[in-house]
Amino acid sequence: MAVENGMESLEFRAEVQQLLRILSHSLYKERDIFLRELISNASDALHRVQFVMLTEQDVLDSDAELAVRITADEETNTLTISDTGIGMTREELIENLGTIAHSGAMAFLRTLEEGQKLDDIIGQFGVGFYAVFMVADEVRVTSRSYRPDAEAWTWTSSGDSTYRMGPASKATRGTSIEIQLKEDAKEFLSSWRLEQIVQAYSNYVSFPIYVEDSVANKQTALWRQSASEVDEEAYEDFYRQLTMDFDPPLLHLHISADVPVEVRSILYVPGNRETGPLRSRTDYGLKLFSRKVLIQDRNKELLPEYLRFVEGVVDSADIPLNVARETVQASRAIGHIKRALRGRLLRAFEELGEEDPERYQTFWEAWGPFLKEGVATDFAGRDDLLPLLRFSTSVSGDGLRSLADYVRDMKEGQSNIYYILGDSPQSVSRSPHLDAFRSNGWEVLYLVDPLDAFMVQSLREFEGKALSNVDDPDLDLPETGSEPESESEESAAQLGPEAFGRLISRFRSILGERVVEVRESKVLKGSPCRLVSSESGPERDMQRVRRLLEDDYEIPAKILEINRNHPLIRNLARLIQIPASDAFVDLTVEQLFENLLLLEGLHPNPVQMVSRIESLLEQAVAASVPPETPA
């Protein structure tokens, strides 16, 4: 550390140096966002001092107006942004503007490399302050903390590898940022231009922002206005300023209630999921105000966890300022608000589903997994979530169906809701389990998302109809004419009980302990066989997930059901009478069994089947060639 006329020189971390190089040497069109970032910091600082004043006695300048001031000096080519916020001590200046940023800088640089636009992301990694170097040759931050005994300090840097610290004289509380503008950044001296930027990015900052002597922002607490006074555009603007997400939200909700607790709130459902993980540093939660005073930036208690994709603000006069200390009063008020917000949101989702199915599909694709998590975790409120679920089904085509759709279209004699678990709609649609359902015209829900297995354990019935897995051994399906499909006269002959019995024993001896039983199927139509679960209970719905998650998980043995009318089975029964075919029969039975594991999504290693299939093909081809054919 070098000391020179009272100023000491310190070095930025390597990541910050790299970030600064990018910012000061590149030509970004959207340079005006530097002002948004500085105002956002000033606003944070004002909120924090406002809070401190309500909870602590000794605050410097407690009468000062809470505001941001922007002034420009054309002669010196400088722009100054000052606030009467919480201020920074010497240590805080070093920490906040020097040290702390390096991890954010790293994450930021990585995201930038992935092709994200700089202006979309700079505020999200705790490096927003540095955006000032897009327009500055030099920056001087002078700050005085609210603590009465703190002294003023100054931080300066020209955006290279170092910054300097030194004592300063500043009589008033807060922070002042003096920017020596670059030659090509003089546009930011114009009041008109400054006002325009404030209105575009910072209109809803709740403190006055003075450009020279007049207030440039609306500073309305939008959520405290009545919904009829607020137009769509204002809601979208506010969303953008709140989240830095530049895509419009899918849905907004303006809530106003006075009993049992006072609450004013605006909630948003973002349009796409990608905005979520990117906003990593701040993570989730709602902004909590009490009479417009910001109490918590990211409150997680106001919504059930599965609704964490919702963004917004909540303001309640009934929340005490020391909410963080978990007083009984606070938690009671929070509990009331949570119930109200949850109820309103779920109702809004349901209405969207009824009124605008197309939009709802977008909503479902982005946020459906969170609602499924809700079904699995919100025991008391599960029934409110069920109308929101959507499924691909055996009749849905490209669309999605709700449980209500399913129940409405149930066929006569059908008392259960049926589902099949699997890996994709394409794979489950080929499942032998669906044979009987297809011929009866009964619908089957496709549960093909790994989350579905968790969800269905908590989803045992809907409107009094039990949910039932199609691999149930005791499926109660109506008999439909199970005539074998058109075949030559001879092979269509019924397989006698004796021959069928022999075949079943043969299956048993080949498969051994891999099956608990081999028996005739009453439900199969076009498929030769299927596997059904011998055990019931939720555990079996989890088998697929466990196989994915646990390397050494062994699938419990199942019951093999055989379709005695299927030509393959009938011919196999004939073939077992010929001793010379033993090896071929063994391979065929093995392969039939493994086909079923594959169809169930339970096969540990499908590639293993290839050599057996080749061997079967070899024999089938050989058998098909007439003896006199030349080679």
Sites of contact with Mg ion (CB under 5 A): 40-41, 128
Strands 444-447 vs 417-421: parallel, antiparallel or unpaired: parallel
Cβ atoms of 294 and 49 within 8 Å: the answer is no
Among ligand ADP, Mg ion, none, partner that 263 touches (CB below 5 to 8 angstroms by kind): none
Residue among 133 and 454 whose Cβ is closer to ligand ADP: 133
Work out how close the CB of 260 gets to ligand ADP at its nearest, in angstroms, rounded to a whole number.
36
Q: Is 210 helix (H, G, I), strand (E, B) or coil?
A: strand
Cβ atoms of 161 and 98 within 8 Å: the answer is no
Residue among 175 and 469 whose Cβ is closer to ligand ADP: 175
Residue among 96 and 482 whose Cβ is closer to Mg ion: 96
Work out how close the CB of 376 gets to ligand ADP at its nearest, in angstroms, rounded to a whole number.
34
Pull the structure tokens for residue 388. 């929101």
In degrees, rounded to 5, the angle at the alpha carbon of residue 599 between the alpha carbons of residues 595 and 603 is 70
Among ligand ADP, Mg ion, none, partner that 524 touches (CB below 5 to 8 angstroms by kind): none
Work out how close the CB of 244 gets to Mg ion at its nearest, in angstroms, rounded to a whole number.
10
Cβ atoms of 444 and 407 within 8 Å: the answer is no
Neighbours of 512 (CB within 10 A): 8
Q: Which residues contact 19 (CB under 8 A, 6 or more apart)?
A: 101, 105, 108, 109, 127, 130
Q: Which residues contact 256 (CB under 8 A, 6 or more apart)?
A: 226, 227, 263, 264, 265
Residue among 202 and 533 whose Cβ is closer to ligand ADP: 202
Long-range contacts of 589-597 (CB under 8 A, 24+ apart): 589/506, 589/507, 589/510, 589/511, 590/510, 590/511, 591/616, 592/528, 592/529, 592/568, 593/511, 593/514, 593/515, 593/560, 596/432, 596/529, 596/530, 596/531, 596/560, 597/531, 597/555
Work out how close the CB of 83 gets to ligand ADP at its nearest, in angstroms, rounded to a whole number.
5
Among Mg ion, ligand ADP, none, partner that 96 touches (CB below 5 to 8 angstroms by kind): ligand ADP
Work out how close the CB of 465 gets to Mg ion at its nearest, in angstroms, rounded to a whole number.
53
Q: Which residues contact 353 (CB under 8 A, 6 or more apart)?
A: 360, 387, 388, 390, 402
Work out how close the CB of 39 gets to ligand ADP at its nearest, in angstroms, rounded to a whole number.
9
Strands 263-269 vs 286-290: parallel, antiparallel or unpaired: unpaired
Work out how close the CB of 329 gets to Mg ion at its nearest, in angstroms, rounded to a whole number.
33
Among Mg ion, ligand ADP, none, partner that 86 touches (CB below 5 to 8 angstroms by kind): ligand ADP
Residue among 209 and 263 whose Cβ is closer to ligand ADP: 209
Residues that bind ligand ADP (CB under 6 A): 37, 41-42, 45, 83, 85-86, 88, 96-97, 126-129, 175
Neighbours of 522 (CB within 10 A): 13
User: What CA–CA distance (Å, rounded) separates 597 from 368?
Assistant: 29
Residue among 313 and 447 whose Cβ is closer to ligand ADP: 313
Cis status of the peptide bond prior to 260, with omega within 30 of 0: yes
Altogether, the residues listed in the chain come to a count of 631
> Which residue, chain included where needed, has tokens 């998590």?
373
User: CA neighbours within 13 Å on the CB side: how many for 512?
Assistant: 3
User: What CA–CA distance (Å, rounded) separates 191 from 590?
Assistant: 82
Among ligand ADP, Mg ion, none, partner that 285 touches (CB below 5 to 8 angstroms by kind): none
CA distances in angstroms from 443 to 396, 429, 501, listed in the order given: 9, 11, 33
Residue among 122 and 333 whose Cβ is closer to ligand ADP: 122
Pull the structure tokens for residue 214. 């007049």
Among ligand ADP, Mg ion, none, partner that 85 touches (CB below 5 to 8 angstroms by kind): ligand ADP
Residue among 280 and 415 whose Cβ is closer to Mg ion: 280
User: What CA–CA distance (Å, rounded) separates 50 from 298?
Assistant: 17
Query: Within 124-231, where are the H helices?
Result: 191-201
Among ligand ADP, Mg ion, none, partner that 83 touches (CB below 5 to 8 angstroms by kind): ligand ADP
Residue among 129 and 437 whose Cβ is closer to Mg ion: 129
Under the phi-then-psi rule, with left for phi > 0, alpha for psi from -120 to 50, and beta for the rest, what region is 570?
A: alpha
Residue among 89 and 468 whose Cβ is closer to ligand ADP: 89
Work out how close the CB of 102 gets to ligand ADP at its nearest, in angstroms, rounded to a whole number.
11
Residue among 83 and 318 whose Cβ is closer to ligand ADP: 83
> Which residue, chain included where needed, has tokens 């109820």?
343
User: What CA–CA distance (Å, rounded) separates 28 from 26?
Assistant: 6
Residue among 100 and 189 whose Cβ is closer to ligand ADP: 100
Work out how close the CB of 368 gets to ligand ADP at its nearest, in angstroms, rounded to a whole number.
31
Work out how close the CB of 224 gets to Mg ion at its nearest, in angstroms, rounded to a whole number.
25
Work out how close the CB of 319 gets to ligand ADP at its nearest, in angstroms, rounded to a whole number.
24
Among ligand ADP, Mg ion, none, partner that 88 touches (CB below 5 to 8 angstroms by kind): ligand ADP
Residue among 143 and 265 whose Cβ is closer to ligand ADP: 143
Work out how close the CB of 266 gets to ligand ADP at its nearest, in angstroms, rounded to a whole number.
22
Residue among 123 and 368 whose Cβ is closer to Mg ion: 123
Among ligand ADP, Mg ion, none, partner that 528 touches (CB below 5 to 8 angstroms by kind): none
Largest CA distance in the chain: 110
Work out how close the CB of 18 gets to ligand ADP at its nearest, in angstroms, rounded to a whole number.
15
Phi, psi of 123 (to 5 degrees): -75, -5
In degrees, rounded to 5, the angle at the alpha carbon of residue 137 between the alpha carbons of residues 134 and 143 is 90
Residue among 88 and 179 whose Cβ is closer to ligand ADP: 88
User: CA neighbours within 13 Å on the CB side: how many for 138?
Assistant: 10
Work out how close the CB of 371 gets to Mg ion at its nearest, in angstroms, rounded to a whole number.
33
Work out how close the CB of 44 gets to Mg ion at its nearest, in angstroms, rounded to a whole number.
7
Q: Which amino acid is at 616?
A: L
